[in-house]
Amino acid sequence: MLFSDANLNQLESIMTKIGKDIGGSSDLIMKVDTDEFLAVHDESTNTLTTSISDYLSGFAKNQKHPLHLAHNSRVGYIQRSMSLEEVCKKNIYSTPEKFPLDEVTSAPGLFKMVYNSKLMATGATTIDLGGHTFGQLDRDVTRFGFLHYHKRCVEIEVENCRRVLERHDYISPSDTDQEAKVKLANMFDCGTSDMCNTCGFTNFFGSFHKAIFYLRWLDCPEKTKEEYYDEDVSKGQYNSDVISAMQLSHERFDL
């Protein structure tokens, strides 16, 4: 079962046009979400640093610099945030630096593209809505990494899932929880009774994982919340670069 969304296709076209317009005056293009921080992998310590100057050093004069790409490439590393219920109990809108990070890992092949601007400028490639690579480009993987603060408070995850599903036009902003549940359950060919235990969630479509989480929240919220926070955060770590950057941002711009 597949679903399309004209609005999302239009947004991808706009993003691609922007990429093409700036392609001639840039070298690399990446699509970064608001919960992502660009970093560089330090191979000696297996950590991510938000200071990228060393990685870029010599780029302008050294034509053999690894970031002079002949093709599109991709982000090589990721460090994901961990949910922390004690922080969320105080404020579900707590800022990213208050949440611990899991270990640094190699980014999956479908994570984020590093676009060669020259290819963008000539129209040889397009920017997907998420800037994803879809499992390609194992050659010339960059040392770029993303600190991905996606997982924080369960209530925010629910809000974000609903927002995405509305943008797909799977549900309407005016739908009640029950109306949304019926529509989304039909997309999985499931009934609405005891979905957490009876629905296999086997159909695939755009943002299907968002629909699964939202349906589980509607059907068994306490179980879903318990599973969401079921992480061993004792080994979590904090990135001092991000903490410093966020503190400085709050001092300068917080209202």
The domain segmentation of the chain, as residue ranges, is: 6-148, 154-228
The larger pLDDT score, comparing residue 108 to residue 20, is at 20
179: helix, coil or strand? helix
- Phi first, then psi: what are they for 79, rounded to 5°? -135, 115
What gap in Å lies between CA 123 and CA 183, rounded to an integer? 38
pLDDT at 161: 95
Cα–Cα dist 232/202, whole Å: 29
Q: What are phi and psi of 101, to 5 degrees?
A: -115, 145
List, for residues 175-219, the tens digit of each pLDDT value.
999 999 999 999 999 999 999 999 999 999 888 999 999 999 999
Per-residue pLDDT tens over the stretch 97-143:
999 999 999 998 888 999 999 999 998 889 988 888 876 656 678 99
Q: 136 is written with which tokens?
A: 């390609």
Share of the chain above pLDDT 90, in %: 74
Mean pLDDT of 232-253: 89
Contact 231, 82 (CB under 8 A): yes
Mean pLDDT to the nearest integer, 46-50 = 92
**pLDDT score recorded for residue 248:** 87
Q: Which two tokens stand for residue 248?
A: 């400085």
- What average pLDDT does the segment 11-20 reach? 92
With H, G, I as helix, E, B as strand and everything else as coil, classify residue 48. Answer: strand
For 224-247, what is the mean pLDDT? Answer: 92
**Confidence band (pLDDT; 50, 70, 90) for 56?**
very high
Q: What residues are paired with 73 via a beta bridge?
A: 114
pLDDT at 1: 39
Residue 158 pLDDT: 97
Q: Determine the distance from the C-alpha atom of residue 18 to the mean position of all C-alpha atoms in its chain, rounded to a whole number.
A: 20
Query: Residues 26, 117: contact at Cβ < 8 Å?
Result: yes
105-106 and 77-80 beta bridge pairing: antiparallel
What pLDDT shows up at residue 4?
Answer: 46
In the chain, count H helices and then E strands: 10, 8
Tokens of 241: 């670069």
For residues 83-88, average pLDDT: 96
**Residue 109 neighbours by CB under 8 Å, 6+ apart:** 74, 133, 134, 135, 136, 137, 138
pLDDT at 247: 87
The sheet that has 77-80: what strands, in order across it?
47-49, 36-42, 144-148, 77-80, 105-106
Give residue 2's pLDDT.
39
3-state helix, strand, coil in the chain (%, to 5): 40, 15, 45
Dihedral of the alpha carbons of 138, 139, 143, 148, in degrees to the nearest 10: -30
Tens of pLDDT, residue by residue over 140-169, are 789 999 999 999 999 999 999 999 899 889
pLDDT band, very low/low/confident/very high, at 25 (cuts 50, 70, 90): very high
pLDDT given at position 139: 65
